[in-house]
Structure 1
Amino acid sequence: MKKQRIVIAGGGSTYTPGIVAMLADNMERFPIAEIKLYDDLAERQEPIGAACEILLREKNPDIQFSYTTDPEEAFTNVDFCMAHIRVGLYAMREQDEKIPLKHGVVGQETCGPGGIAYGMRSIPGVLEILDYLETYSPDAWMLNYSNPAAIVAEATRRLRPDSKIINICDMPIAIESIFADILGLPSRKDLVVRYYGLNHFGWWTSVTDQAGNNLMPRLQEFVAKDGYAFETEDFQHKHPSWQATFKKAKDVYALDPKTLPNTYLKYYLYPDYEVAHSNPNFTRANEVMATREKDVFNLSREIIAKGTAVGTSFHAGAHATFIIDLACAIAFNTKERMLLIVPNNGAIENFGKDAMVEVPCLVGNQGPEPLTMGTIPTFQKGLMEQQVAVEKLVVEAYIEGSYQKLWQAMTLSKTVPSASVAQAILDDLIEANREFWPELS
């Protein structure tokens, strides 16, 4: 098998060490010649890069490793770019969450006004990376899990229609892992699923085992009582905000007991509950900065000081395993079945062909081949049409520099109660994002 050359864009991310470790541990199925890290913030990437260099030297010294802020050096001669950038870092995520809450609206990094604000920042960052790849490694694939994935996917569809980018999300994968735990199965890969929706906005309609046995009734019975709160040791160690999210899936499920919902639907279906149970002074961004951000950078500095990574480990979440599965499917034409964000083009028969939907795909060296999910019910279709219109308006607002369209997008979001509230939030977000957004008129 050919040894692959990888660049990780967002080299200073706290997720990067886990991905590097996961890549090193999967050399048998995904052999690697080189890993490069790229970030435009040298001071943030430096401790992560130096720690990863030590880790790789001890795990697999045959892998060539480097980290850089020079795009030409980073993106030249690579097969894959794994991208997880966060424009504005957690300081801006904090604003995305706290500004809407100040107006009594859901404060969340990918949903509602916060997701719109984040999307306006992410679009130019993702396009920049795509352009670097086109310039320096035009045959490379970009595997993108930079958020908000729905808005980013619509922007790349519109503005870089011929690019080799696949947009992915690990939330369905994490939920399917919970399904496997509930069912007592070793892995989510023991499941065959049918699912449709938009990113962070979808439903499972079928879950079977590999022999075709229907597992939905057992899952539905559990979710009707406990949501996705499966009481394992891992669940007990999750942050309180995630425990609450998994428990709330019970109420989201109640709206359509024939399906199983993505957890993010709670922000659209129960926004009043979410606002009432949010701390406007300490949001998820503060939680992450106080835990994962702090822990990963402290561990990186500890490894650098000791000169060894022996006896330490970086957590590799669902996103790390999923992105390696995707890279394998493309590199070796495995035709693995995976949930991806792709142009609809008939996958959902009664939905717009130019919508970016999340559906099962067979993945090979030509990219994803979406599977047909048939027609969808009025309830889901109505919700999805409203949300996809929000995403399209955000991208149009970015392209045109249009205040009007961004106000329309905010107003149309199911999390926002009125046009006046939408405008008040928008004006505050414009002030907070002057460094990042295009000028709106």
Structure 2
Amino acid sequence: MKLTIIGGASAYTPDIIEGLLREHALFAGGELCLHDIDDIHLRVIERLARGLVRTAGADLRVTATRDRAEAISGARFILTQPRVGGLKHRALDERIPLKHGLIGQETLGLGGFAFAWRTIPLMLEIVEDVRRLAPEAWIINYANPAGMVTEAVLRRFPDARFIGLCDMPTGLQWGIGRLLRVDFHRIALDYAGINHGGWVSRVLLDDRDVTVRLRRWAALLGPVARLLPLREETGTVRLFREHGMVPDPYLRYYYYKDQILRHLLSAGRTRAEVLMERLPRLYEHYAAVALEERPVLKEHRGHQSHADLASQVIAAMAAGRPTRFVIQQRNGGAVRHLPPDEAAQFPAVVDGAGFRPIPQPALPREEAELIAHIKASETLNVRAAMEGDRSLAVQAAELNPLGAPRPLAGRVIDELLAAHRPYLPQFA
């Protein structure tokens, strides 16, 4: 069995490899192939990966290549996590909208739109390569903005063996598990919506509904959360208390838009700029532990839930072990208030044959309308990215709840197009 990671030089990769190695017997005698265009960091991760394989006592060969076709050929699972333009261009996605009084965010609003313009063409090329060079392979996607990437792939390749992932629902499971003092793998979510825009109507612990119990805690914690700075955890508690459902934490950007915008405008650095300072030290750590005979990671790029989700999905498919996850794929009626032929995010049972959606109950009207509104703007932006159509991008910017009316929408879109020009040949 061959597993390929496209974007293998990412700082997220070592944790994902550790997750895969927890069930390394599934991949015994196989190959782990890392692909990236960043040769320096690719070689660091390659050396570290070989050390992690030794530490786990796994029978797994590690290879690395800058040749994408070589990486894809013969693979059974392909994890995609490229970042087109790197953190430098993510910083532009965040900073340019802020100059105009708009939220700059990696996956939401006009920053997320610009990221989609860069990522979608590459992901479509990758899927086309996989269909030609590894037609039986499953693509497990982490590339952001994940929802718009999934929408584009399904539009171009309706039958693609493709599953989009986001670690936000898994992060909610982890947080709820910690609150209930249980292993978060015992938690399941009834989730309906899109990537970074959905609601959990029920929380299940070993198939028992514990939502009412959690609502009581939210009622107690809500007043305290209102007194604390608006962050992921406090925003989630506040929205849960106000709506009676657990939100995707990113919904705070829509419901508390003005408060978050003030914070972003007053902050000295964007999130990308913070990461640009931090990541060199993280790669230094990776390089240092890679020299050890049995390396052990002491520093990590992201939350445990990120690596756990990708590795668990691949393991469930490799083992043919039916397991429930929240995924992104064609809606097909699983999320009632969204178009059935477009991408959505919902629970599904994943196994060796693929996935089976678990239909979700309808959301209340107010919450459903906001998500449908966001989805409609993102679908327009996907078309803009695929067709290289500036006018569609402007329409999407006007429609999005974090966007802007004319003429400001056009000015921000033009500035983003100019800033990312080397990565946007479709708009030429």
2:202 is aligned to: 206
Contact 2:193–2:345 (CA under 8 A) maintained in structure 1? yes
Instruction: State the SS of the aligned residue for 2:201.
Output: strand
Q: Distance in 2 between matches of 1:66 and 1:30?
A: 15
Contact 1:33–1:62 (CA under 8 A) maintained in structure 2? yes
Correspondence list, 1:163-202, <5 A: 163-185=160-182, 187-202=183-198
Q: Distance in 1 between matches of 2:317 and 2:56?
A: 25
Instruction: State the SS of the aligned residue for 1:419.
Output: coil
Change (3 A) 1:112 1:341: same
Deviations 1:109-168 (A, max 9, x none): 001111101111110121222122222211111101111011101100111222211111
Task: Give 1:218's aligned amino acid.
Answer: R
Q: Distance in 2 between matches of 1:435 and 1:145?
A: 23
Instruction: State the SS of the aligned residue for 1:308.
Output: coil
Deviations 1:298-336 (A, max 9, x none): 1122135x4534354453721221112211222233221
Q: Out of 248, 260, 264, which is 2:250 matched to?
A: 264
2:214 is aligned to: 219
Contact 1:176–1:188 (CA under 8 A) maintained in structure 2? yes
1:66 is aligned to: 63
Contact 1:268–1:414 (CA under 8 A) maintained in structure 2? yes
**Residue 332, structure 1, aligned to residue 332, structure 2:** no
Q: Out of 328, 339, 351, which is 1:341 matched to?
A: 328
**Residue 249, structure 1, aligned to residue 236, structure 2:** yes
**Residue 296, structure 1, aligned to residue 296, structure 2:** no
Task: Give 1:272's aligned amino acid.
Answer: D
- Output the aligned Cα RMSD: 2.3
Q: Out of 94, 102, 113, which is 2:110 matched to?
A: 113
Task: Give 1:221's aligned amino acid.
Answer: R
Change (3 A) 1:251 1:89: same
Task: Give 1:381's aligned amino acid.
Answer: A
Contact 1:329–1:364 (CA under 8 A) maintained in structure 2? yes
**Residue 158, structure 1, aligned to residue 155, structure 2:** yes
How far apart are 1:225 and its partner, in Å? 4.5
Q: Distance in 1 between matches of 2:70 and 2:426?
A: 32
Deviations 1:387-436 (A, max 9, x none): 11111111111222211100011111101242322222111101111011
Unaligned runs of 5+ in 1: 231-239
2:353 is aligned to: 366
Normalised TM-score (structure 2): 0.92
Contact 1:102–1:280 (CA under 8 A) maintained in structure 2? no
Contact 2:4–2:34 (CA under 8 A) maintained in structure 1? yes
Unaligned runs of 5+ in 2: none
Q: Out of 310, 314, 317, which is 1:323 matched to?
A: 310
Q: Distance in 1 between matches of 2:180 and 2:213?
A: 7
Give 4+ residue runs of structure 1 displaced > 6 Å after superposition: none
Contact 1:98–1:281 (CA under 8 A) maintained in structure 2? no
Contact 1:21–1:314 (CA under 8 A) maintained in structure 2? no
Q: Distance in 1 between matches of 2:355 and 2:29?
A: 22
| Higher mean C-alpha displacement, 24-33 vs 130-139 | 24-33
**Residue 129, structure 1, aligned to residue 129, structure 2:** no
**Residue 414, structure 1, aligned to residue 414, structure 2:** no
Q: Distance in 2 between matches of 1:325 and 1:198?
A: 21
Q: Distance in 1 between matches of 2:343 and 2:399?
A: 18
Change (3 A) 1:19 1:32: farther
2:45 is aligned to: 48
Task: Give 1:101's aligned amino acid.
Answer: L
Task: Give 1:358's aligned amino acid.
Answer: Q
2:386 is aligned to: 399
1:381 is aligned to: 368
Q: Distance in 2 between matches of 1:378 and 1:312?
A: 46
Change (3 A) 1:363 1:55: closer
| Higher mean C-alpha displacement, 54-63 vs 415-424 | 54-63
2:32 is aligned to: 35
Q: Distance in 2 between matches of 1:251 and 1:300?
A: 38
Contact 1:30–1:328 (CA under 8 A) maintained in structure 2? no
Instruction: State the SS of the aligned residue for 1:282.
Output: coil
Task: Give 1:412's aligned amino acid.
Answer: L
Contact 1:55–1:308 (CA under 8 A) maintained in structure 2? no
How far apart are 1:295 and its partner, in Å? 3.1
Q: Distance in 1 between matches of 2:114 and 2:402?
A: 14
Contact 1:170–1:318 (CA under 8 A) maintained in structure 2? yes
| Higher mean C-alpha displacement, 364-373 vs 137-146 | 364-373
Q: Distance in 1 between matches of 2:74 and 2:237?
A: 48
Task: Give 2:133's aligned amino acid.
Answer: Y
Equivalenced residues, count: 423
Instruction: State the SS of the aligned residue for 2:425.
Output: coil
Contact 2:328–2:345 (CA under 8 A) maintained in structure 1? yes
Contact 1:183–1:218 (CA under 8 A) maintained in structure 2? no
Instruction: State the SS of the aligned residue for 1:277.
Output: helix
**Residue 435, structure 1, aligned to residue 422, structure 2:** yes
Contact 1:225–1:250 (CA under 8 A) maintained in structure 2? no
Task: Give 1:41's aligned amino acid.
Answer: D
Deviations 1:12-71 (A, max 9, x none): 100111112222232245646110100122233122222222332443362111101012
Task: Give 1:120's aligned amino acid.
Answer: W
Contact 2:21–2:58 (CA under 8 A) maintained in structure 1? no
Q: Distance in 2 between matches of 1:152 and 1:165?
A: 11
